[in-house]
Amino acid sequence: MAEYVKIASVNEVPPGEGKAVNVDGRRIAVFNVSGTFYAIDDTCTHEEASLAEGALYGDIVACPKHGSRFHLPTGRVLSLPAVIPVNTYPVKVEDGQVWLLPEPQKGHGMPHKV
Ligand code: FES
């Protein structure tokens, strides 16, 4: 059974920004939305692009390559050209660190308020 792993300190992911991390060979993007952390697959489901580098609009990230928007809490695609949702990952914050459970979720992630 997977266990939570430390992926970043809270200070490394300021509000309104994302950061790509590698966990068990997976590239995962973690975002800070006004103190709530979300994690999704970093690679866009359309082509090769890092969603961690996309612009945030509330809890939505826009792919930096062609602009598809993904809903961070659910991984849902909100606009073309991507049509496949991204996986989400449960995250929690403890002792100023962001922890992630490396088990992809098709449904809702579990955001954690700081
Ligand atoms: S690579 Fe993300 S929308 Fe095309």
Q: Does ligand 1 have an atom closer than 6 angstroms to the CB of 68? A: yes
- Amino acid at the residue 48: E
Q: Give the residue from 63, 69, 53, 71 showing the smallest Cα distance to 17.
A: 53
Best substitution site from 42, 43, 46, 53 to test ligand 1's pocket, by max atoms within 8 Å of Cβ? Answer: 46
Nearest partner of 88 among 59, 113, 67, 66, judged by Cα: 59
Is 61 close to ligand 1, i.e. is its CB under 6 Å away?
no
Give how far Cα 33 sits from Cα of 18, 36, 82, 84, Å: 9, 5, 22, 23
CA 108 from centre of chain: 12
pLDDT beyond 60 at 114:
no
Contact 7, 18 (CB under 8 A): no
What the chain holds in terms of domains, given with CATH numbers, is 5-113 (2.102.10.10)
Ligand 1 neighbour 27 (Cβ under 6 A): no
pLDDT band at 111 (very low <50, low <70, confident <90, very high): very low
Quick: pLDDT tens for 29-39. 999 999 999 99
